[in-house]
Amino acid sequence: MNELKMVFDRMGIDIWEVIEAASTKPFGYHPFYPGPGLGGHCIPIDPFYLTWKAREFEINTKFIELAGEINTYQPFYVVERSMEALNNHKKALNGSDVLILGASYKKDIDDMRESPSLKLIELFREKGAHVEYNDPYIQKLPKTRKYNLDMNSVELTKENLKKYDLVVLATDHTDYNYELIFDNAKLIIDTRNAFGKRGFSKGGVVKG
């Protein structure tokens, strides 16, 4: 789905509309959704144990490795979409204030293992942005295997939202007040279609 998202974006096709249309099939259908990257321990890591073992038997697990490449690229793709969206508003990413919504790898949990949000923070910083985050389940980013970001969750208020040049929804927590965010953010990159599903799809929302 992440690969199709990138292909469809280039074609001017909304991947979320395609998924919604496909869901009208009355049988034998299970939806899969794109996102900003994969987290947790299972999908991003465990299949590569099989890849490593298969090499001992001189077998290449091409699909596992290709899927890994595509999914690993997703945070980079989100940053590219962010740069493009800001550019359309005559704003450079370098020097911009960016808020990441969600630090956990999926909604309504406090598990940060392999969360793509951490990579997003790193990439935005490398591009010269000032980055903060909010997550109702994670008040402080702990040191992980790859990252030691030493950041605290900022309060999600009307006044705070207005000060950011870009808000990136990385994790679609149920607790978020999407109307509040939509009404007060200057520009939103929605990697989960959380705003579109709630009818907030016009104006400053860009699907990432």
What domains sit in the chain, N to C, each tagged with a CATH number? Answer: 35-207 (3.40.50.720)
Q: Which pLDDT score, from 0 to 100, does residue 84 have? A: 96
Asked if 151 and 140 count as a contact pair (C-beta separation under 8 A), the reply is: yes
Per the DSSP assignment, residues forming a β-bridge with 207 are 190
Which residues form the catalytic set?
Answer: 42
pTM value? Answer: 0.88
Q: Which pLDDT score, from 0 to 100, does residue 145 have? A: 81
Would you say residue 179 has pLDDT above 90?
yes
pLDDT (tens digit per residue) in 145-159: 888 898 999 999 999
Would you say residue 47 has pLDDT above 80?
no
Torsion of CA 15, 90, 125, 155, to 10 degrees: -80
Would you say residue 181 has pLDDT above 90?
yes
Q: Which of 160, 167, 12, 154 is nearest to 89 (CA)?
A: 167
Higher pLDDT, 39 or 5: 5
- Distance from the Cα of residue 88 to its chain's centroid: 20
Higher pLDDT, 51 or 169: 169
Q: Which pLDDT score, from 0 to 100, does residue 43 have? A: 61
Q: Which pLDDT score, from 0 to 100, does residue 25 have? A: 87
Token look-up 């496909």 returns 22
Q: Which pLDDT score, from 0 to 100, does residue 45 have? A: 67
pLDDT (tens digit per residue) in 107-148: 999 998 889 999 999 999 999 999 999 999 999 998 888 888
